Amino acid sequence: MQRLICHELIVRGAKDWTTRVGIIFLMLTTLIIVIFTGVAREQYKQNALTSSETSPAIVVNPYPKQLLQAQAKTIKPQSVQIQNFSQSLIERIKQKKVVKKYVTTDKFSKYQPKLAAAQVHPSNYGERFSRDTKGMAVSNQPIIVLHETTYSARSAINYFQNHNVDEDIQASYHAIIARDGTVIYLVPPDKRAFGAGNSVFKNTDGTIETVQTNPKLAPSVNNFAYHVSLETPPDGWGKRDIREHSGYTQEQYNSLAWLIAQSQVPDERITTHRAVDVANGKVDPLSFDFDRFFKKLHSFRKLHSIAQSQS
């Protein structure tokens, strides 16, 4: 009997010891997990802090993509659409080396054309270069070249949205003026639109201006030109052998003048595709009334005198 009781006590003691060891093991395991988790959290926080300090910040562009995200959608007027292109001239004005600049009038502020934008495939425009293909610095003052679309404005935009691999057929304008006067922004003014092929501009001094930016192509005015096109009237669509058509609407003349009035490009540097073209037979814009256009332009902007520096 006594042996039985002793055996039972030994078994019970063994069980109690095993239980105690198990409990101690579980407590130690839990403690290790807690400590490891805490260290891991601190390491994660430290890594996140280090990453935020050393990685560049992601900046979201607050502007619509070159004002080209909207399709046939009214957008806010941009009073510096062409002024940015004339930055060198503006800088000279700030330095008081130019005694006059253009300012817009009350009639300009009261005219509010419809505005839209359309995207152009990057193959159809490029950067403006500060040097030509021979490495010579170029500093031509801006000109504005007037065109017409030949077909509808929509047709021209469709073409500009194609990926044109062949450099000989790449083309674009900076803006199109639709028949109803809508100003459709295409290529940003600080970029080089491919509006003219082999071309030159003859200034008032008789000097010929042109820049070669591609060794495979003839020199052109594109590097210093702002190209704006008028939508051709339906009676002139596709008729390349004609010399006139029904002309442009009053809304087109108004909006064209409104657009150009925002620039510092003088009257004598506003020209046509016909005038700058070399041997390609370009005759646009057909039936363009310069008197009508300049009358409206002069009502939208005036020359403002600035005192010249005395130093």
Per-residue pLDDT band for 12 (boundaries 50, 70, 90) equals low
What pLDDT does 6 receive? 44
What pLDDT does 100 receive? 85
Distance of CA 61 to the CA centre of its chain: 12
The more confident residue out of 308 and 263 is 263
What pLDDT does 219 receive? 98
Q: Which of the listed residues 59, 87, 107 is the one where a domain comes to its end?
A: 59
- 8/104 same-domain check: no
Please answer whether residues 247 and 66 qualify as being in contact, where contact means their C-beta atoms are separated by less than 8 angstroms.
no
pLDDT at 233 over 90: yes
- 83/52 same-domain check: no
Distance CA 209, CA 225 (A): 11
Q: Dihedral angle at the C-alpha atoms of 88, 91, 97, 98, nearest 10 degrees?
A: 70
Q: Which of the listed residues 15, 42, 59 is the one where a domain comes to its end?
A: 59
- 250/288 same-domain check: yes
pLDDT at 1 over 90: no
Of 31-40, 63-72, 218-227, the poorest mean pLDDT is in 63-72
What pLDDT does 193 receive? 98
Please answer whether residues 99 and 308 qualify as being in contact, where contact means their C-beta atoms are separated by less than 8 angstroms.
yes
- 164/271 same-domain check: yes
Q: Dihedral angle at the C-alpha atoms of 247, 250, 253, 255, nearest 10 degrees?
A: -130
Locus of tokens 């253009």: 102
Here the CATH number for the domain that contains residue 298 is 3.40.80.10
Q: Dihedral angle at the C-alpha atoms of 118, 119, 125, 127, nearest 10 degrees?
A: 100
How much of the chain exceeds pLDDT 70, in percent? 67
What pLDDT does 26 receive? 54
